[in-house]
Amino acid sequence: MNRLAFLALWLLVFSIPFANMFVFEWGATITRVIGMTAFSIGALAVVATGKIRRLKASHFIIAAFVAWAIASYFWSLAPSLTLQRIWTCVQLFAMVWVIWQFSPRKSQVRDLMQAYVLGAYISIGAIVANYLSGQQTHYFLRYVAAGFDPNDLGLILALGIPMSWYLSLTKRGTVVWVNRLYIPLALIAILLTASRTAFAAALLALLIVPWTLGRLSQRGKVALAFTIVLSIFLVYFFVPWSSWERITTIPTAITQGGVGMRMNIWEAGLKVFSTRPVLGVGSGAFPPAVEPILGKQWVAHNTFLSILAENGIIGFILLGLIGSSSLSLIFRMPQLERRTWLILLGVWTVGVFFLTWDHEQTTWLLLGLLVASAYAIDGKTAESMPLELAPMAPLSRPHKEKHKHTLSKLWNY
């Protein structure tokens, strides 16, 4: 039963990078349907075995954030929207729990990361296919998979870069090349979306390569050189000039004080926050709250501002606790996992500064994987005991620090 539950979880993670491409008539994405199935099978497995993993402090902080979102219904400016957001948050927390319950081993956490990378390949294929057929989005000269915003999908693909590189260092066989080739293909797809946010996030994601270069064998370094040459060749001959023209406007957009309408939206969001600084306007109520100011409903285009305005200072504090708890877990991981998760967290932070991702599946997937990875036991320990009886391994402590906070020392951390 546990194996069936993990298979359903694997399919759930696999579907997230291309979820919007497959939507049922009643409006639910394929990911939501698989997620409900995975939770149901997981609940049955817990009942059948009578075993459940003890939740950690990080889970209770996340639960408190969800509870505050639920409570905001009672003072929300848009109760119907808040009710929808509550239902979404409850489902997302259920996903975090399923990941925790059925991924106690490092190999299982890696398998879930692999599922994400393989799912991202489908979106990459859709972007390339649309480019070759000339099917642009309503954004001029930008290409994206059906159902997706270019910026959202670009960030989803950028998050796959550190995962794929980490997997290429920890797995064996043909799948290593599946993960290595993901990087140049993801870069092409990101450039085809012409998303400046995703491009900046991808540049940060690529830092995982030089930061872990010492783990490569001589043969691995030759393979890396080949991958770099292949990447340059594909990007040069495949990416249209129109994408580069938009990407190169990043410095101009920054010096002019914003990207698109974002500065106006952020100013309106801060005004909304000032009217209800403690409680907020209610989860999901940001668009109608700024409508009187902007004349139109807009999402925040900034996850931190969205939470601040919708959930007030209390919600923002809970977000800070989630962040500090996540960093605490990361800094106690082994070196390779620590570096991978620091890059992942950095990529997410850069991306969501311009996107509203507080209720996105990918954000909560990362939370679930991070906590599961922090407490995961290795395969050798797990082989000799049943899954449901495997003890929760203590977090490994980082190497002794003899040095001060300098850039060179941080690089070696």
Number of domains into which the chain is organized:
3
Least confident interval from 251-255, 346-350, 400-404:
400-404
Q: What is the mean pLDDT of residues 179-199?
A: 93
- Cα–Cα distance between 197 and 208 in angstroms, integer? 18
- At 412, the pLDDT band (50, 70, 90 cuts) reads low
**Is residue 388 assigned to a domain?**
yes
Residues 299 and 393 in one domain: yes
Higher pLDDT, 100 or 226: 100
**Is residue 343 assigned to a domain?**
no
Which positions ≥6 away from 203 have C-beta within 8 Å? none
Residues 78 and 163 in one domain: no
| pLDDT tens per residue across span 238-265 | 888 888 888 888 776 665 555 557 889 9
The pLDDT, as a whole number, for residue 254 is 63
The pLDDT, as a whole number, for residue 170 is 92
Residue 313: is its pLDDT beyond 70?
yes
Residues 376 and 405 in one domain: yes
**Is residue 373 assigned to a domain?**
yes
**Is residue 162 assigned to a domain?**
yes
Q: What is the mean pLDDT of residues 396-407?
A: 44
**Which domain, by its residues, includes 19?**
1-52
The pLDDT, as a whole number, for residue 139 is 65
**Is residue 146 assigned to a domain?**
yes
Question: To the nearest whole percent, how much of the chain has pLDDT over 90?
Answer: 67
Least confident interval from 33-47, 328-342, 361-375, 398-412:
398-412
| pLDDT tens per residue across span 271-311 | 999 999 999 999 999 999 999 999 999 999 999 999 999 99
Residue 380: is its pLDDT beyond 90?
no
Per-residue tokens: 250: 């990043």
Q: What is the mean pLDDT of residues 202-210?
A: 94
The pLDDT, as a whole number, for residue 10 is 97
**Is residue 344 assigned to a domain?**
no
Q: Do the beta carbons of residue 179 and residue 117 sit within 8 Å?
A: yes
Residues 273 and 396 in one domain: yes
Higher pLDDT, 122 or 141: 122
Give the chain's mean pLDDT.
87
Residues 254 and 181 in one domain: yes
* Residue where a domain stops, chosen among 215, 239, 258: 258
Residues 130 and 225 in one domain: yes
Residue 407: is its pLDDT beyond 50?
no
* Residue where a domain stops, chosen among 236, 258, 280: 258
Residues 146 and 242 in one domain: yes
Residues 266 and 373 in one domain: yes
- Cα–Cα distance between 179 and 201 in angstroms, integer? 19
- From the list 235, 236, 208, 203, the residue with the least C-alpha distance to 224 is 208
* Residue where a domain stops, chosen among 14, 36, 52: 52
Higher pLDDT, 307 or 225: 307
Residues 392 and 272 in one domain: yes
- Which residue in the block uniquely carries the two structure tokens 């298979």? 7
Residues 266 and 407 in one domain: yes
The pLDDT, as a whole number, for residue 392 is 41
**Is residue 342 assigned to a domain?**
no
Least confident interval from 64-68, 107-111, 148-152, 252-256:
252-256
- Cα–Cα distance between 139 and 129 in angstroms, integer? 17
Per-residue tokens: 251: 């410095």
- Cα–Cα distance between 312 and 307 in angstroms, integer? 7
Residues 241 and 301 in one domain: no
Higher pLDDT, 20 or 136: 20
Q: Do the beta carbons of residue 354 and residue 259 sit within 8 Å?
A: yes
Residues 15 and 79 in one domain: no
**Is residue 88 assigned to a domain?**
yes
Cβ neighbours of 163 (radius 10 Å): 26
Which positions ≥6 away from 59 have C-beta within 8 Å? 96, 97, 100, 371
